[in-house]
Amino acid sequence: MEAFTSIEPDIVLIEGPPEGEQVLQWVADAAMKPPVALLGYVPTEPQKAVFYPFASFSPEWQAMKYGLAKKIPVRFMDMPLCHKLALEAIEENAQKSKEENTTDTTTKEETSFILQKSPLSYLAEAAGFEDAELWWEHQFEISAHPVEVFEAIAEAMHSLRENLPQRENKMEDIREAFMRKAIRTAQKEKFEKIVVVCGAWHVPALQQMPSAKEDNQILKNLPRVNIDTTWIPWTSDRLSFESGYGAGVNSPGWYHHCWQHPQDDGTIWLSHAAQVFRKNQIDISSAHIIEAVRLANSLASLRDFSKASLSELNEATQAVMCMGDEILMQIVWKDLIVGKNLGEVPEGTPQVPLQKDFEQIIKSLRLKKSSDYKDIILDLRNENDLKKSVLLHRLHLLDIDWGREMGSRGKGTFKEEWRLTWYPELSIKLLEKATWGNTVEDAGNQYLSHLATSSQQLDQITQILQKALPAELDKGVRKIIKRMDELSAGTSDTVVLMKAFVPLVQVSRYGNVRKTDIEMINFILDSIFYRLTAGLPMSCTGIDEAQASTMVENIKEVHQAIMLLDEPELKSNWLDTLHKISDVHAVAPKIQGFCYKTMYDAQDLDKETTAQIFSQALSTSQEPAHSALWLEGFLEDAASTLLIDEVIWEIVNEWVKQLQEETFVQVIPLLRRTFSTYSTPEKQKIAEKVKQGKSSILKVKQSTEIDHERAEKVLPILEKMFGI
């Protein structure tokens, strides 16, 4: 600002896209609070976008504020985005085509990664600095007389550009040609005091300008696309990202402090550090601050620096406040050195209709965007909480993950827990979905219709339905259900039907929490169920061991879903299907064993019948490997059966005892795999039971006998507890 005051320019040219001038007036609005970013995007393809972030300490931001306050022309002079994004699209397509046509992958890898050394690093090394940013900070950012360094910077950049090897950069040449063109235009308009705010690297190219004819030749026949621009809130942590025209800043919180407190000797900074530690329950006294300031300034003197920089202050903080612990420094880094600021833009800033609708909704629901995460618990019986839940589910469906559901809604519960975190890229995602509708609801319905049309797999569209129901998008859901009906009618793959059936049961069982009409869903559910049960027995034959394990998992999930649904007719048909699977001789033994165990648990087989089947499966007439796989299927997740059911225990025990040594060695890996799924306490109890031998049978029988007299004494208490 000292330079502006001394020069008193009559026009300011800033390195930035000319399209940004149409929203430049918002910078002067009192409600505009950096960090913010100028967003340029292609309206028909919002994913093609560029961010130009600004902090309060950004030279470009201060130049804009100065020019608008003084009411002098402020212009952006960089390459227009209409050309930049068009050229990038052409280059991207050319690169993809080149990669597709390249057969030598080694050559491709060698030419794709070219390491470039920062030009400023040469100057830093010459001055004795290992870090170029630290050198820049000492020379220019915390310098007492910044105006005097401009000529030195220009001379240094001239030397670097003349002496360093330059590789061809067409985009850079075009950018600098546009900058020179903007300067010539200002000169033709008779502006006398022209101030240019740009990156130091461009200074030589703007001071030693070629002819206008040469620049016009560079700018000839450039492609273009339509561009819209707006302002969006930005965050301190994302100021470190490379975006737009420049590289990021590693420590935006520190530079903001330097801008606000240029004369600080470290006292104010370290006082802020102490506040951060105290906020995180770490005791810091005034003595810590005083000693840290002394140490930081002593380090600066020893290194022949005029003032302590962030490096010295960090070393002092770690030594004095953190007692040398590097981990505690992460707190300061996140909260202070980088910062957690989220910028604000004024109401009325240009927005697409979808963005406006979103902002109005969150304002009415009293939700606030924050770069720091916030956990909220919603009670769906509360109308306002229900509306918040619907919004978050709609955004999630649109791939705008502002909120992440931390836990399942649960079985029969009305609670949802969400973690909200806003980051600037979500603004782009909102823009991308703006083509689907002008409101969040319309966009959700249209996007659902699109997903319904493009879905080709039944299990895929079932998962989409699960996500759609809590979003309460009736029109879109009807399209999904219709498409689901079409896909289910044409699907004969049993595995796909099984994967679609399980989530549909969840929808059918708990969909009514949100008063969802599930009549059509139940119709499709029944249709899928009878199709899968018809084809399941044959699907369990002619498969290998790995496929059998996968099928067991699928059968297990379907069985649990049916038990959850608690429909007598479906349950009866399902158990009949398990009988059919078990009776087919060619069914994989692991599946067969699991089906028998499932029927046994459902009390569809009595103990005597189960014992007979068990004995046949483990008889000496069977191959040991077949018996072991059958046993693995039966005993999967069945440690309690072994411990409690003495009939099953004795059959297994006798089968293991009669195995020959050679056969036992063959089947032991399968048995070990079976028992490895049990918990450690379960395995310990099984081992104790084996050690005790037959004597344990009597003990178990005695311990499992029911004392009816004692049980009756408990009933009155249970009646009071459960209101029976």
User: What's the pLDDT at 644?
Assistant: 75
Query: For residue 595, is it within any domain?
Result: no
Say whether both 290 and 383 belong to one domain: no
Q: What sign does the dihedral 175-180-186-189 (CA atoms) show?
A: negative
Backbone angles phi, psi at 227, to 5 degrees: -130, 140
Say whether both 257 and 235 belong to one domain: no
Say whether both 408 and 540 belong to one domain: no
DSSP 473-536: -HHHHHHHHHHHHHHHHT---HHHHHHHHHHHHHHHHHGGGGT---HHHHHHHHHHHHHHHHHH
Query: For residue 344, is it within any domain?
Result: no
| Residue 304 C-beta-side C-alpha neighbours within 13 Å | 4
Q: State how far the Cα of 415 lies from the Cα of 409, in Å rounded to an integer.
A: 6
Query: What is Dmax (Cα atoms) for the chain?
Result: 109
Say whether both 431 and 330 belong to one domain: no
Contact 434, 426 (CB under 8 A): no
Q: Which of 469, 475, 521 is nearest to 500 (CA)?
A: 521
- Last residue of a domain, which of 439, 473, 494? 439
Q: State how far the Cα of 295 lies from the Cα of 681, in Å rounded to an integer.
A: 57
User: What's the pLDDT at 69?
Assistant: 93
Contact 698, 689 (CB under 8 A): no
**Model-wide pTM > 0.75:** no
Say whether both 390 and 478 belong to one domain: no
Q: State how far the Cα of 528 lies from the Cα of 532, in Å rounded to an integer.
A: 6
Long-range CB pairs of 272-275 (<8 Å, 24+ gap) are: 272/336, 273/313, 273/317, 273/321, 273/332, 273/336, 274/321
Question: Using DSSP, how many helices (H) and how many strands (E) does the chain show?
Answer: 34, 9
Q: State how far the Cα of 610 lies from the Cα of 596, in Å rounded to an integer.
A: 8
Contact 217, 180 (CB under 8 A): no
Say whether both 477 and 380 belong to one domain: no
Q: Is 405 exposed, middle or buried (0-12, 13-18, 19+ CB in 10 A)?
A: middle
DSSP 175-222: HHHHHHHHHHHHHHTT-SSEEEE--GGGHHHHHS---HHHHHHHTTT-
- Pick out the chain residues at pLDDT < 50: 104-115, 242-247, 409-412, 512-513, 515, 695-704, 724
Q: Which of 210, 148, 3, 178 is nearest to 77 (CA)?
A: 178
Rg (CA), the chain: 36
Other beta carbons less than 10 A from residue 52's beta carbon: 25
Contact 183, 206 (CB under 8 A): yes
Question: What total number of domains does the chain contain?
Answer: 5
Q: Which of 380, 383, 392, 381 is nearest to 416 (CA)?
A: 380
Contact 593, 631 (CB under 8 A): yes
Query: For residue 597, is it within any domain?
Result: no
Q: What sign does the dihedral 500-505-508-511 (CA atoms) show?
A: negative
Contact 38, 27 (CB under 8 A): no
In degrees, rounded to 5, the angle at the alpha carbon of residue 542 between the alpha carbons of residues 537 and 544 is 115
Say whether both 203 and 302 belong to one domain: no
Query: For residue 60, is it within any domain?
Result: yes
Other beta carbons less than 10 A from residue 297's beta carbon: 19
Ramachandran class of 374: left when φ > 0, alpha when ψ lies in -120 to 50, beta otherwise: beta
Query: For residue 450, is it within any domain?
Result: no
Q: Which amino acid is at 565?
A: L
Strand 374-379 and strand 45-54: the pairing is unpaired
Q: Which two tokens stand for residue 277?
A: 């530690």
Say whether both 333 and 364 belong to one domain: no
Other beta carbons less than 10 A from residue 416's beta carbon: 24
Ranges of beta strands (E only) in 198-318 are 228-233
Domain that holds residue 273: 253-338
Q: State how far the Cα of 502 lies from the Cα of 574, in Å rounded to an integer.
A: 14
Q: State how far the Cα of 593 lies from the Cα of 548, in Å rounded to an integer.
A: 11
DSSP state of 619: S
- Last residue of a domain, which of 404, 439, 474? 439
Query: For residue 116, is it within any domain?
Result: yes
Q: Which of 578, 608, 610, 609 is nearest to 595 (CA)?
A: 578
- Last residue of a domain, which of 338, 368, 397? 338
* Cβ neighbours for 299, distance < 8 A, ≥ 6 positions apart: 308, 312, 315, 316
Q: State how far the Cα of 615 lies from the Cα of 89, in Å rounded to an integer.
A: 70
Q: Which two tokens stand for residue 148?
A: 């005097």
Any idea which residue has 């067969």 for tokens?
A: 592
Contact 72, 11 (CB under 8 A): yes
Say whether both 507 and 581 belong to one domain: yes
Q: State how far the Cα of 632 lies from the Cα of 644, in Å rounded to an integer.
A: 18
Query: For residue 598, is it within any domain?
Result: no
Contact 12, 72 (CB under 8 A): yes
Q: State how far the Cα of 38 lies from the Cα of 399, in Å rounded to an integer.
A: 23
Say whether both 59 and 117 belong to one domain: yes
Say whether both 119 and 12 belong to one domain: yes
Q: State how far the Cα of 443 lies from the Cα of 657, in Å rounded to an integer.
A: 67
Q: Which two tokens stand for residue 133?
A: 């940013």
Say whether both 139 and 34 belong to one domain: yes
Q: What sign does the dihedral 146-149-154-156 (CA atoms) show?
A: negative
Contact 326, 213 (CB under 8 A): no
End-to-end CA distance of the chain: 79
Query: For residue 594, is it within any domain?
Result: no
Other beta carbons less than 10 A from residue 68's beta carbon: 17
